[in-house]
Structure 1
């Protein structure tokens, strides 16, 4: 039988890919590239967002 897909709330800014490695263009002494790891500021690196019902709405 087919499995049901989990309904996980994925961050709409990063589509669940919360971290990216960006090359700086320089190399270390052993020849490997230097990279910076940057996380999504919207979800703070988790890749998930809180469901709408858990958020507190302003003005209500």
Structure 2
């Protein structure tokens, strides 16, 4: 689990706690390094966690 996420927080179901990733485009620059795209998870907006759902009180 990535550091910085509180224990009571739930991991984002879309990114599994890895909210920002680097994707290579396959091309190289003149100095030989690869061109990268940094993509942020849209669901958790880069936090890696989702707030816990509130449970409704049971009606009897």
TM-score band w.r.t. shorter chain: 0.7 to 0.9
Gaps of at least 5 residues in structure 2 are 1-6, 55-60
CA distance in 2, matches of 1:21, 1:52: 30
Q: How does 1:28-43 map to 2 (within 5 A)?
A: 28-43=29-44
Structure 1 length-normalised TM? 0.72
Structure 2 length-normalised TM? 0.72
- Alpha-carbon RMSD: 1.0
Which structure has more helix as a fraction of its residues?
A: 1
